[in-house]
Amino acid sequence: MPGVVVLGWRSGASCCGILTARELQAPGCRAAQRAPHREAVGGGGTEWRPAGAGLGSSGPGCDSPVDGSAMSGAGAAADRAAFVGFFPRVLRDLTADGLQHPEVGDAVARLKEILEYNTPGGKYNRGLTVLAAFRELVGPEQQDPESFQCALTVGWCIEMLQAFFLVADDIMDFSLTRRGQPCWYKKEGIGLDAVNDSFLLQSCIYQLLKKYCRGQPYYVHLLELFLETSYQTELGQALDLITAPSGHVDLSRFTVQRYKAIVKYKTAFYSFYLPVAAAMYMAGIDSEEEHANAKAILLEMGEFFQIQDDFLDCFGDPTLTGKIGTDIQDNKCSWLVVECLHRVSPEQRQLLEENYGQKSLEKVAKVKELYETVGMREAYRECEESSYHRLEELVEKHANCLPKAIFLGLAQKIYKRQK
């Protein structure tokens, strides 16, 4: 039988970022203890599988850095099915008080309706990222049913955090639709009661973490991570609201620096860093250095994602995005207006000042026409390409002892997305 070499991952290596056996033994590299190493079968090809899983015939080589990982097609489909299938259990756990304490039965029935309407139905990218990252970061012996159940739970906690933010954000932005249906506050009989409903969604996160993760060594890390991420996102929302107050258009506020700050705090921390950081803590990775490396990549990815969102708000197909864009009439500091301000003539800037942040559909149309005139579609295409290459460079630089597949898989999911 051919000899076996256990491989991990490193930045700067040829062919999928492979770590040699000597590098795995180097001080400071924790990949040997925690990562889902692959086994290379000598003398006829490479077979990618978790270390210790047994050897079979030669595989496809290393054509792709995510080949054979949890982010591949079959693994991703299985994880998605397991994730979606876990929601009924989450729902039962969170509404059990209605049976145990009849005096709050009406409130718990309302909670059930809130959860069913606002939590499922999205793309589940944040929740599924927890599962994919967890599988990449731990060996097969740690992927037991209890650990996977905790990962499912944490994934749904992030989806509930997302639901909490969206319910509140839709109220503040006077949005009409979300995920192809009326926003929660727009439903008959809901209105501003949705404010308290958003609080309930946030509280559910900590109920679930307590039930499923309280006995785990990473429990406190998760609590602090969710609390810190909520705070960061709320600071980002405050920046967004301060920068673009309703009824007061001041284009001088729309700077690149302010846009980057809003995006970093309002979107990037909770959408990209949180799912991966949670998986890292669950895998026993708590060093500040490794979290800083992950954050450097993921915050940049979050900015790329928000630029896409801003473009799709204006130019996307509502039947695909599931929402009607309102950034122009809401006076938002979006990437489109920030970039447009660098391209307009004085006359065009005056037109923008007269029409941006207005509810009139005619004025919204004039802003969109201006975007077309100054070439914002082409500017976006160029930005998308350069951002993706920048992400590749960051992965090469910072994914030292962390699997590149985590970051490349995320980037591939959002690259050229239409919704």
**Would you name the residues annotated as active-site residues?**
123, 164, 169, 173, 178, 240, 266, 305, 309-310
Looking at residue 32, its amino acid is A
Instruction: Report yes or no: 297 and 396 within 8 Å, Cβ to Cβ.
Output: no
d(CA 74, CA 298): 25
Q: Which two tokens stand for residue 128?
A: 């599924």
Chain-centre distance for alpha carbon 25:
33
Place of tokens 């926003």: 183
Count the residues in the chain: 419
CA distances to 57, 158, 235, 408 from 240, rounded to whole Å, are 55, 22, 9, 29
Name the E strands within 22-162: 38-41
d(CA 270, CA 234): 10
Q: Other C-beta atoms within 10 Å of 8: how many?
A: 26
φ, ψ (nearest 5 deg) of residue 269: -60, -50
Query: By C-alpha distance, which of 326, 417, 405 is closest to 70?
Result: 405
| DSSP-assigned letter for residue 20 | P
Looking at residue 181, its amino acid is Q
Alpha-carbon torsion 355, 356, 362, 367, what sign?
A: positive
Q: Other C-beta atoms within 10 Å of 26: how many?
A: 13
Those residues whose C-beta lies under 8 Å from the C-beta of residue 170, and which sit 6 or more positions away, are 178, 183, 184, 185, 186
Instruction: Report yes or no: 139 and 37 within 8 Å, Cβ to Cβ.
Output: yes
d(CA 262, CA 242): 10
